[in-house]
Homo-oligomer: A and B are copies of this chain.
Amino acid sequence: MDKVALTQAQKEAYMREALYEAKRAQVIGEVPIGCVIVLDGEIIGRGHNLREHSQDATMHAEMLAIQEANNKVASWRLVDAQLFVTIEPCPMCSGAIINSRISEVYYGAPDPKAGTVGSLMNLLTDERFNHQAAVESGILKDDCRQIMQDFFRNIRRKRKKNKK
């Protein structure tokens, strides 16, 4: 079977699933970032940021989705898989994408402070590593950014209220 490129509608449908994961983080007070991993049209891994609840620095959305996908296919290799994440990955998650051999990465909004898939550098296209991934950014960018902005605005509002 030849690989068929995803349509824009398919990319947006998977990013909506990542946004749904982001909302699951939001409702429990975690920074709202979500991720899904797709293989042959099926979602094989899902994750949302759980850093505060777990008090574990490694529990980013992408890490949890990769771990679930590895478990699902019973292999650390996720060749031909596609990862959808609402915000540009950090170095840890970029490295996990390299380590798991994910083929394609789609993200919504950039992270100018810690993003390493285009903002500060691009680890996923660096040919010195033994794996590269195709990258496309900007899928449902406004929605992915908005849920983050609302979250942080809400925090500032609460802090202000508590000071009064």
Contact = CB atoms under 8 A, between A and B. Distances in A.
A131 to B, nearest CB: 10
A24 interface: no
Number of copies: 2
Contact of A58 (B58, B94, B116, B121): B58
A25 interface: no
Given A114-B129, A129-B114, A91 B57 contact: no
A99 B71 CA distance: 24
B100 A96 contact: no
Nearest to A98: B91
A56 interface: yes
A127 B70 CA distance: 33
A143 to B, nearest CB: 25
Interface in A39-66: 51-52, 54-60, 63, 66
A70 B95 contact: no
A86 to B, nearest CB: 18
Given A129-B114, A130-B113, A75 B55 contact: yes
A126 to B, nearest CB: 8
A27 interface: no
Contacts of A100: 57-58
29 contacts: A51-B76, A52-B76, A54-B70, A55-B71, A55-B74, A55-B76, A56-B70, A56-B76, A57-B76, A57-B77, A57-B78, A58-B58, A58-B66, A58-B67, A58-B96, A60-B99, A90-B95, A90-B98, A90-B99, A91-B116, A92-B92, A92-B96, A92-B99, A93-B95, A94-B95, A113-B130, A114-B129, A120-B126, A120-B129
